[in-house]
Each structure stands twice: as structure tokens, then as C-alpha cells.
Amino acid sequence: MMTGMGKMLLALGDLLMPRTCPVCGRPLGLNERHICLYCAADLPLTYYWERSHNPMADRLNAALPDQEGMPYAYAAALFFYDEDVPYKMIPWKLKYGNGIGTGRYFAAMLGRYLAGSEWFGDVDTVIPVPLHWARRWRRGYNQAAVIARAVAGVLGAECREDILVRRRRTTTQTRLGGDARSRNVKGAFGVAKRIPGMRHVLLVDLRPGRRRRSASVRSAPPCLRRSAFPSRRSPL
């Protein structure tokens, strides 16, 4: 709940530097945080956390290399977005616009949905897909880690950024096609340490769009599964 002083400061901030909805561009009201009420009401949620088998998880499992005895990997995303829809501005703001507060807000929303899910509610460890140190240094933060920390906070899980490491630098994925993306990240990840006691691991990445699948999310699970998690639970 915002206090009177908080509202006054926010109103003053809006006068000095008006906050706008990143989706429609409308100025935000005092009671609106990050996006306007209209865009929030129309947020195209996937509801994938309500279905153990969904199109996203099916595509991921089809792309994972055959690893005998490994169970189906669950997968979920908060909302749909693509190149041609304004909702793409939410992840864009987190990735390029220093929108850490916006990222935390939507990640906490995802965390609340996951917490109530039969397939994600018992996640005990959240691992962000790492950026290469040089890219992280240039951007100042890892957008996947911003999401992972907020999701872990809501789930009451531990966020571990010291397990999955990026072994080599890859070229930016944005302009690459599907096969080129997979080649680009092949062998790019490794596991730095084994942590006993983890049972259900959630791997977090910021997806580049509905049609552009995250090659990182497809290439990181096999190495996590091979090296660190001999248990029967899924690492995604």
C-alpha cells in the first residue's frame, strides 16, 4: 500500500519524468505500476502452468537430446508476445531499457502462478541462464537472474547463480535463425558445482518471442541433467 508521502513523491516524479505504459505508451496513473490497467487486463497469459503438457513444453522436450530415463520436462511462460505485438515491450524494457523494476513485477506475478501449480509449486531451486561475463558487464545485470530471484522469492526456493556457467561467449541470438541459434549455444554451458539436495529445479530465461524459441533453454538442461541431477525430477 502506498503512503501519502509515497504518492506525493511519485506524483512529483511523474511531473519531472512522466511514467508511461511500455505497452500502449499512455501516461501511468498514480495507482498504476509498470503497465496501465487496460494493458494489464488484456495481458495475454499463457496459463501453461495449469497444463503439464503444453505446446512450449512439447517443443522443448522434442528438442532435448535423448537421455535415457529422463522424465518429461515441464515448461511455462507468463504471457505470449511476438515481434508484432506491443506486449513485446515488457521483455524489451527488461533486456535493453534497464527495466529491472518491471522485470521483478512480472516475475513475481509468474512466481505466484507457479506457486499454485501442481507441477511447479514444489520447485526448490531456481537457476537463471547465465550471460557471458563480458555481456553481463556491458549490460550491468543478467535479465534472467532478475526474473529468477523474484520467482524464487515467491516460491520460497533458493536462487543459485553459481551452478550453471557460460563456458564461452556466443554471438547475440537476436538476429539468428533457429538452427543457427542452436549451433551458437551448443556446448556453451557447463555446471560449476554439484549441489546435493536439489530435487526440482526451475531454469529461467527471457524468451526472445513466441516464434523465436530460446536456444539457451534447450541447450542448458542436458548439461544440468547429465552433470548434476541424477534424480528423477525434471530440471525445467
Least gap, CB of 103 to Zn ion (angstroms): 17
Instruction: Report the alpha-carbon distance of residue 148 to residue 42 in Å, rounded.
Output: 24
The contacts of residue 51 (CB under 8 Å, 6+ apart) are none
If binding is defined by CB under 5 A, does position 39 make contact with Zn ion?
yes
Burial class (CB in 10 A: 0-12, 13-18, 19+), 11: exposed
Instruction: Report the alpha-carbon distance of residue 144 to residue 197 in Å, rounded.
Output: 23
Q: Taking contact as CB under 5 A, which single stretch among the options 14-22, 76-84, 107-115, 197-205 is the one that binds Zn ion?
A: 14-22
If binding is defined by CB under 5 A, does position 89 make contact with Zn ion?
no
Least gap, CB of 25 to Zn ion (angstroms): 7
Question: Measured on CA atoms in the order 181, 184, 185, 187, is the torsion positive or negative?
Answer: positive
Least gap, CB of 107 to Zn ion (angstroms): 19
If binding is defined by CB under 5 A, does position 90 make contact with Zn ion?
no
Per CB under 5 A, the list member of 10, 19, 20, 24 interacting with Zn ion is 24
> Would you tell me how many other CB atoms lie within 10 Å of the CB of residue 134?
10
Least gap, CB of 143 to Zn ion (angstroms): 21
Interaction site with Zn ion (CB under 5 A): 21, 23-24, 36, 39
